[in-house]
Amino acid sequence: MNDKPRSPSTRARATQPAGLLQRLWRLSRGRRLRQVTGNFVWQAFARHSMVGAVAPSSRRLAHAMALAARGADLVVELGAGTGAVTAALVEVHGMRPLVAVEIDARWADRLRRRFPGIDVRCTSADEMLTQMAPPASQVVVLVSSLPFRSLPPHWHQRTCAAIERFLLADPRRRLVQYTYQPRAPFETSAASPLAWRCRRAVWHNLPPAWVWELGAAPA
Ligand SMILES: C[S@@+](CC[C@H](N)C(=O)[O-])C[C@H]1O[C@@H](n2cnc3c(N)ncnc32)[C@H](O)[C@@H]1O
């Protein structure tokens, strides 16, 4: 780790998009991480609407998402991708039950190899949520990287509807989701008793992100 003080101009450069890209590349020192990042960028072009990002989540964003899920008995990660958030969930929540859901078969396989102790499901988020029947005693928190702003309309509609149904079945459930704009990830249906709360901004991400929570509105 380089602890040398940095000049203001160096700091300013590091927050420019090109500077952030360079930093991200330098941070991905290991060959494996470089491969993962390269593969992600390729997927981001090839399946833009389903991936909806230009780079994997940064460690800071992943950690902020994992912290926002504290208090869960069971965490269900939606759109686990390269496993950046999965790794932070394991770090923060230890051996607590975690299910990682990923629609892309190659990424699901990689997740299984990287996290042999985790229940990885290669399916769509809405299928998973419709079929899940956790014990009534368990507080379930959904931690999602799903790209709601770019999902095709059909996927957007069925995924949002399944999430709302899942959350409404138990007022203790909540969804943790990030966005790349300071506005709510998606609109809930009219008259929904659920409400969005913006938890924090994470500047060290490409691009900067906002962490949101959707759950029962305060009485
Ligand atoms: C923004 S990327 C993943 C970001 C992840 N945090 C990372 O750093 O790798 C979104 C992921 O959601 C997956 N995805 C998109 N739609 C999905 C759906 N309906 N169900 C499950 N996964 C989905 C994509 O295949 C992609 O891996």
| Domain CATH for 108 | 3.40.50.150
The phi and psi torsions of 216 (rounded to 5 degrees) equal -60, 135
Sheet strands (E) in 30-90: 74-78
> Is the beta carbon of 104 within 6 A of some atom in ligand 1?
yes
Instruction: Give the pLDDT score at 49.
Output: 74
Residues in the chain: 219
The DSSP secondary-structure symbol of 150 reads T
Q: At what angle do helices 17-27 and 8-15 cross, to 10 degrees?
A: 90
Q: Do the domain assignments include residue 212?
A: yes
CA dist 90 and 60 (Å) reads: 15
Q: Give pTM, 2 decimals.
A: 0.84
| Ligand 1 atom, smallest distance to 125 CA | 20
The CA 88 to ligand 1 mean position distance, Å, reads 16
Question: How many angstroms does the Cα of residue 1 sit away from the middle of ligand 1?
Answer: 31
Number of domains in the chain: 1
CA distance 166 to 138: 13
Q: Which residue numbers in the chain have pLDDT < 50?
A: 1-8, 14
Nearest to 215 by CA among 198, 199, 197: 197
Going from the Cα of 78 to the center of ligand 1, the distance in angstroms, rounded, reads 7
Q: How much distance in Å is there from the Cα of 26 to the middle of ligand 1? A: 24
The answer, yes or no, to whether any atom of ligand 1 lies below 6 A from the CB of 213, is no
Note whether residue 7 is domain-resident. Answer: no
Instruction: Give the chain's mean pLDDT.
Output: 87
Residue 27 lies in a domain: no
* Distance (Å) from CA 204 to ligand 1 centroid: 20
Regarding the beta carbon of 79 and ligand 1, being less than 6 Å apart is answered yes
**Rounded CA gap, 143 and 175, in Å?**
6
| Residue 187 lies inside a defined structural domain of this protein | yes
C-alpha 107 to ligand 1 mean position (Å): 9
Is position 15 within any domain? no
Q: What is the pLDDT of residue 107?
A: 94
Q: Which domain holds residue 148?
A: 50-216
pLDDT of residue 2: 42
In a domain, 5, yes or no: no
In this structure, is residue 88 part of a structural domain? Answer: yes
Ligand 1 centroid from CA 171, angstroms = 26
Instruction: State if residue 127 touches ligand 1 by the CB under 6 angstroms criterion.
Output: no
The finding on whether 205 has its CB within 6 A of some atom of ligand 1 is no
Is 172 within the bounds of a domain? yes
Q: CB-side exposure of 199: number of CA atoms within 13 Å? A: 21
Ligand 1 proximity of 50 Cβ (cutoff 6 Å):
yes
The predicted structure's pLDDT at residue 5: 47
Regarding the beta carbon of 185 and ligand 1, being less than 6 Å apart is answered no
Q: For residue 4, what pLDDT is reported?
A: 45
